[in-house]
């Protein structure tokens, strides 16, 4: 790997970690907000869902107009990161709940559409038989960025204003870092808007199967990230643990952040043994954890903690490989658009799973709520097994499928 490649990838990773800290800042701030005023479970879900909604809208616009393929991805990333930083900074000085907060979180989600898939686009320009690893590292950066607010909440009894302030500063830093990135030799620019490119995501069988696998994965992922902290806070409080909020925040951070290891390992194994192999194995593991963890609400910590950590590792280990699969199957000038379309569909589905989980939890408890999430990985495993049998699978991971 050349020095320019290493330097650029390091900058992309650092910028991604910094920018993504704004995504789950509200989830990390919830415990502090609750100490100052009551907030319903529906309001909690909406704080996260607003970001998802904004992201979906942003990715639709970006995919329709091929923004990631037509314009300099560094400028697109920087502009979106600055706007997200400003939207998060405003949260510091207003009431922590209400319509204005939801709108600002919506704006943050819109901006993330110019950060997450665009970062993958830039990493893919440097790929040389190591695409799985490169995007795996990038998704690992996303995971660390998403976990960072929980670390802040776990470290000290910090006020919610400070969580937003740190997240905003991190996004500003990301905008600066990305300006120093050099694009790789695989960059291909689209010169015109071609709406037919998006239709490939469903019309072409191999792309459709990969996207169905991704949807199964996404049904579980963000609902797990959004609600695991609530589950742990309740579990630890009911146990009567000293400093239960801090302990729950630490375990949430450990579970989410450990996904960075899963992303890296998934990338290494996928480049060596194939992407369908890794995605099927990871979804089988995470789906099993989802089906189990709700039943461990009151179990000894020596049993609960390892399952939670394994869930955190496996739930994200396959994420990058769906994106890498699309990048390998797509035409070079369509990579950015099809990656954006894929993430759009996935995050649209997360709106359903995030919002429906507390409803199921109220009716069936935590076992029923988390078992519902296991349905996604099951469907995803079937889709990726079917892709493995597809003749176009020879294009994936150098023929390893």
pLDDT digit string, tens, across residues 240-287: 777 777 788 888 888 988 888 888 888 889 888 888 999 999 999 999
Distance of alpha carbon 381 from alpha carbon 128, whole angstroms = 27
Most confident option among 62-71, 92-101, 106-115, 369-378: 369-378
Confidence of residue 225 (pLDDT cuts 50, 70, 90): confident
Q: Hey, is 368 helix, strand or coil?
A: helix
Most confident option among 38-42, 53-57, 171-175, 247-251: 171-175
What are the b/e assignments for 186-215, b being 16+ CB within 10 Å? Answer: ebeebeeeeeebbebbeebebbbbbbbbbb
Signed CA dihedral, 133, 261, 78, 80: sign only: positive
CB atoms within 10 A of CB 372: 22
Confidence of residue 393 (pLDDT cuts 50, 70, 90): confident
Kindly give the interhelix angle for 301-317 and 275-293, rounded to the nearest 10 degrees.
150
Q: Which two tokens stand for residue 359?
A: 């409803």
- pLDDT, position 285: 96
Q: Which two tokens stand for residue 363?
A: 């009716």
Least-confidence region, from 44-48, 226-230, 255-259: 44-48
- pLDDT, position 303: 94
Least-confidence region, from 8-22, 102-116, 146-160, 212-226: 146-160
- Whether the pLDDT of residue 391 is over 70: the answer is yes
Q: Which two tokens stand for residue 107?
A: 């704006």
- Whether the pLDDT of residue 379 is over 90: the answer is yes
Which CATH number is correct for 3-180+198-399, 1.20.1250.20, 3.30.70.3270, 2.60.120.650, 2.30.110.10?
1.20.1250.20
Q: How many C-alpha atoms does 342 have within 13 Å on its Cβ side?
A: 35
- Whether the pLDDT of residue 340 is over 90: the answer is no
Tens digit of each residue's pLDDT (9 = 90 or more) over 153-203 = 666 566 788 888 888 999 999 999 999 988 877 666 554 555 566 666 677
What is the pLDDT averaged over residues 95-99?
81
- Assign residue 300 a region: left if phi > 0, alpha if psi is -120 to 50, beta otherwise? beta
- pLDDT, position 237: 87
Tally the residues of the chain: 401
What is the pTM assigned to this prediction? Answer: 0.77
Domain range annotation of the chain:
3-180+198-399
- Whether the pLDDT of residue 94 is over 60: the answer is yes
Distance of alpha carbon 6 from alpha carbon 27, whole angstroms = 33
Q: In 3D, which of 319, 54, 33 has the Cα closest to residue 149?
A: 33
């Amino acid at each position: 790997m050349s020095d320019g490649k290493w330097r650029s990838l390091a900058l992309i990773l650092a910028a991604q970690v910094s920018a993504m800290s704004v995504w789950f800042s509200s989830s990390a701030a919830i415990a502090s907000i609750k100490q100052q005023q009551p907030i319903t479970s529906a309001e909690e879900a909406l704080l996260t869902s607003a970001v998802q909604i904004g992201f979906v809208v942003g990715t639709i616009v970006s995919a329709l107009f091929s923004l990631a393929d037509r314009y300099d991805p560094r400028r697109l990333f920087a502009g979106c990161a600055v706007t997200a930083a400003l939207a998060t900074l405003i949260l510091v000085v207003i009431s922590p709940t209400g319509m204005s907060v939801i709108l600002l979180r919506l704006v943050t989600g819109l901006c993330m559409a110019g950060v997450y898939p665009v970062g993958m686009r830039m990493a893919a320009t440097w790929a040389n038989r190591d695409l799985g690893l490169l995007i795996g590292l990038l998704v690992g950066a996303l995971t660390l960025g998403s976990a960072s607010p929980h670390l802040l909440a776990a470290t000290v009894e910090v006020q919610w204003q400070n969580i937003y302030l740190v997240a905003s500063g991190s996004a500003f830093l990301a905008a600066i870092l990305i300006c120093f990135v050099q694009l790789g030799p695989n960059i291909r620019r689209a010169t015109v808007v071609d709406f037919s490119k998006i239709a490939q995501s469903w019309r072409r069988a191999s792309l459709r199967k990969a996207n169905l696998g991704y949807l199964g994965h996404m049904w579980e992922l963000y609902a797990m990230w959004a609600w695991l902290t609530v589950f742990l806070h309740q579990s630890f409080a009911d146990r009567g643990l000293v400093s239960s909020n801090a302990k729950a925040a630490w375990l949430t951070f450990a579970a989410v952040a450990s996904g960075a290891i899963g992303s890296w390992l998934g990338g290494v194994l996928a480049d060596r043994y194939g992407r369908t192999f890794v995605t099927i194995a990871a979804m089988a593991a995470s789906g099993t954890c989802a089906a189990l963890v709700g039943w461990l609400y009151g179990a000894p910590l020596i049993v609960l903690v390892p399952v939670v950590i394994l869930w955190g590792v496996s739930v994200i280990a396959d994420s990058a490989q769906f994106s890498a699969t699309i990048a390998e199957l797509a035409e070079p000038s369509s990579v950015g658009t099809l990656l954006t379309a894929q993430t759009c569909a996935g995050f649209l589905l997360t709106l359903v799973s995030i919002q429906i989980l507390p409803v199921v939890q109220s009716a069936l408890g935590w076992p029923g709520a988390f078992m519902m999430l296991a349905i996604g990985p099951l469907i995803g495993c079937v889709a990726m097994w079917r892709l493995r049998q597809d003749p176009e699978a020879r294009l994936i991971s150098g023929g390893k499928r």
